[in-house]
Amino acid sequence: MSAPRHIVDSVESVLSIYFSNCRLKERAAFILCDELVEVACRDRVKQTMPRAAAAQLTFPDLLTHPTVGINIITPGMGRSVLDCHRARNDMQHNNPAATVDGQYCADAIVDATEVIELCFPGAKAALPDKLKVSLRVMRLLSHHGDARQQTQFGDAMQNHAWRGNHDRAKQDEVIVAPGARANWGIVILSEYVRVEALLDQVGVPPF
């Protein structure tokens, strides 16, 4: 089952923000990711109950609804998703300057895709290839990733000939290195075939 189009678009938005070079990108991606989880769960619940009733459910109610079925009591993905929601509420309502680090945000994004899969079984397999590759990188950067492979992939991205045999830059031009970590957003989604080859080269597991 494919996820609704607006869910897929939101996944791409979260990934694009995370891999961008904008200031406080982790904060923006983290907040949007939490909203993505809520929308996915509410869309699923709406399939089994009146929309007006579904609109009244709280975030924990949505996670634990029988059609979603996420355990938020014991440690695991459900508890992590709920903790992220509480952190997002605090960031938005109590501490507008607060943010999260890259790994914590990556963890939240990986968990969000698992929630989407629970809501719409088969959704991950139906994602566009560019998003599958991007999520494979995201999982590597999360706590699920291997530290050695993180380093090897970073080196491979840095050393890859992204620009090919272009002419030397003119005097008034600035060279932007797509392989530098801050600039991955230039190539992660648009050059996903080459990124996937680097992931395979390092031996990063499929998403």
Q: pLDDT tens digit string along 94-134? A: 888 888 999 999 999 999 999 999 999 999 999 999 999 99
Instruction: Give the separation between CA 196 and CA 153, rounded to whole angstroms.
Output: 11
Instruction: Give the separation between CA 191 and CA 200, rounded to whole angstroms.
Output: 15
Q: pLDDT tens digit string along 179-204? A: 899 999 999 999 999 999 999 999 99
Listed by start position, the domains of the chain span: 1-127, 146-207
DSSP 167: P
Best CA proximity match to 43, nearest among 15, 84, 5: 5
Best CA proximity match to 62, nearest among 16, 116, 22, 98: 116
Q: What angle do CA 50, 53, 55 make, to 5 degrees?
A: 110
Question: pLDDT-based confidence at 163, cuts 50/70/90?
Answer: confident
How far from the centroid of its chain's Cα atoms is residue 148's Cα?
21
The pTM assigned to this predicted structure is 0.92
Q: Is the pLDDT of residue 135 over 80?
A: yes
Q: Is the pLDDT of residue 166 over 80?
A: no
Q: Is the pLDDT of residue 172 over 70?
A: no
**Cβ pair 187, 21 in contact under 8 A:** no
Q: Is the pLDDT of residue 164 over 90?
A: no
- What is the chain's mean pLDDT, rounded? 92
